[in-house]
Chains A and B, each alone.
Chain A
Amino acid sequence: MTRDQLRILLPVLSLAVLLAAVFYLQPRTMSYFGLNLLFNLAIPVALATIAQMMIIMVNDIDLSIGTFVSFCACVTATFVHDTPLLGYSILAIAILAYSAIGAVIHARGLPAIVVTLGMSFVWSGLAVLILPSPGGASPEWLQTLMKSKPPLVPMAIIAATLIALVTHLFVKRSSFGVVLQGVGGNERALERAGWSIVKLKATAYGIAGLFGALAGMALVGLTTSADANIALRYTLLSIAGVILGGGEFTGGRVSPIGAVIGALTLTLAASFLSFLRLSPDWQIGAQGAILILVLAVRLLVSRREER
Chain B
Amino acid sequence: MTDLNTRPGAAVAPVVSLDGVHMSFGPVHALVDARFELWPGECVGLVGHNGAGKSTLVNVINGRLTPTQGKVRYSGHGGQSDAATGAQEAGIRSVFQELSLCPNLTVLENLRIPYRNIPRKAWRREARRMVLAALDEVFPDHGISADAVVGDLSIAERQMVEIAIAFAERDTEPALVILDEPTSSLDAAIAQQLLSHIKKFCAAGGTIIFISHLLGEIFEVATRILVMKDGRVTQDKQANAFTRDSLVDAMGHVVETSGRTQSARQRRAVGEEVARLNNGMTVHAGEIVGLAGLAGHGQAEALARFYMSRASVWRSTKTPEVAFVAGDRTRDGVMPLWSILKNLSLMTLREFSQNGLVNRSEEDRLYETWKERIKIKANNPLDPILSLSGGNQQKVLFAKALASSAPIVIMDDPMRGVDIGTKKEVYSMIRAEADTGRSFLWYSTETEEVLECDRVYVFRDGEISAELTGDMITEENLLRASFELQEATA
Contacts and interface: CB of A to CB of B under 8 A. Distances in A.
Given A182-B102, A186-B100, A186-B101, A4 B149 contact: yes
Contacts of A184: 104
Name, among B101, B105, B123, the residue most crowded by chain A CB atoms within 10 Å (CB to CB): B105
A185 B103 CA distance: 6
B363 interface: no
Contacts of A195: 113, 116
Nearest to A182: B102
Interface stretch (A110-118, A173-181, A280-288): A173-181
A189 B102 contact: yes
Nearest to A253: B104
Contact of B64 (A179, A186, A192, A251): A192
Contact of A185 (B102, B118, B147, B148): B102
Interface in A184-203: 184-186, 188-190, 192-195
Nearest to B162: A189
Contacts of B103: 185-186, 251
A42 B437 CA distance: 66
A44 B147 CA distance: 33
B287 to A, nearest CB: 31
Contact of B123 (A175, A188, A189, A190): A175
Contacts of A185: 102-105
A251 B103 CA distance: 8
B114 A193 contact: yes
B109 interface: yes
Name, among B103, B113, B114, B151, the residue most crowded by chain A CB atoms within 10 Å (CB to CB): B113
Contact of A175 (B101, B114, B118, B149): B118
Nearest to B111: A178
A186 B123 CA distance: 21
Contacts of A178: 105, 109, 112-113
Interface in A88-102: none
Contact of A181 (B64, B101, B105): B105
B350 to A, nearest CB: 28
Interface in B66-102: 84-85, 88, 94, 96, 100-102
Given A252-B102, A253-B104, A175 B112 contact: yes
A195 B84 CA distance: 11
Contacts of B96: 192
A251 B124 CA distance: 22
A157 to B, nearest CB: 29
A186 B102 contact: yes
Interface in B12-47: none
Name, among B101, B102, B116, the residue most crowded by chain A CB atoms within 10 Å (CB to CB): B102
B152 interface: yes
A172 B109 CA distance: 10
Contacts of B102: 181-182, 185-186, 189-190, 252
Interface in A2-34: 3-4
A152 interface: no
A259 to B, nearest CB: 15
B100 A189 contact: yes
B149 A3 contact: yes
Interface residues of A, number: 22
Contacts of A194: 84-85, 88, 116
Nearest to B149: A3
B104 A192 contact: no
Nearest to B120: A175
Contacts of B101: 186, 189
A188 B100 CA distance: 7
B100 A3 contact: no
Interface string B242-260: 0000000000000000000
A179 B100 contact: no
Contact of B113 (A3, A4, A179): A179
A300 interface: no
Nearest to B100: A189
A85 interface: no
A64 to B, nearest CB: 25
Contacts of A188: 100
Contacts of A181: 102, 104-105, 109
Contacts of A186: 100-103
B3 to A, nearest CB: 25
A192 B94 CA distance: 9
Interface string A130-168: 000000000000000000000000000000000000000
B185 to A, nearest CB: 17
A182 B112 CA distance: 10
Contacts of B148: 1
Contacts of A251: 103-104, 151
Contacts of A182: 102, 104-105, 109, 113
Contacts of A190: 102, 113
A303 B426 CA distance: 37
B27 to A, nearest CB: 25
A307 to B, nearest CB: 11
Contacts of B105: 178, 181-182, 185, 252
Interface in A69-107: none
B172 to A, nearest CB: 13
A194 B62 CA distance: 11
Contacts of B94: 192
A186 B98 CA distance: 12
A192 B118 contact: no
Interface string A233-255: 00000000000000000011100
A1 B150 CA distance: 11
B109 A192 contact: no
A173 B127 CA distance: 13
Interface string B181-223: 0000000000000000000000000000000000000000000
A99 to B, nearest CB: 21
Interface string B142-168: 000001110110000000000000000
Nearest to A4: B149
Nearest to B103: A185
A193 B93 CA distance: 10
A189 B165 CA distance: 13
26 contacts: A1-B148, A3-B149, A175-B118, A175-B123, A178-B105, A178-B113, A179-B112, A181-B105, A185-B102, A186-B100, A186-B101, A189-B101, A189-B113, A192-B94, A192-B96, A192-B100, A193-B113, A193-B116, A194-B84, A194-B85, A195-B113, A195-B116, A251-B103, A251-B104, A252-B102, A252-B104
Closest 8 CB pairs of A and B: A185-B102, A185-B104, A189-B100, A193-B114, A182-B102, A252-B104, A186-B102, A175-B123
Given A181-B102, A190-B113, A253-B104, 9 more contacts: A173-B124, A184-B104, A185-B105, A186-B103, A190-B102, A192-B94, A192-B100, A195-B116, A252-B102
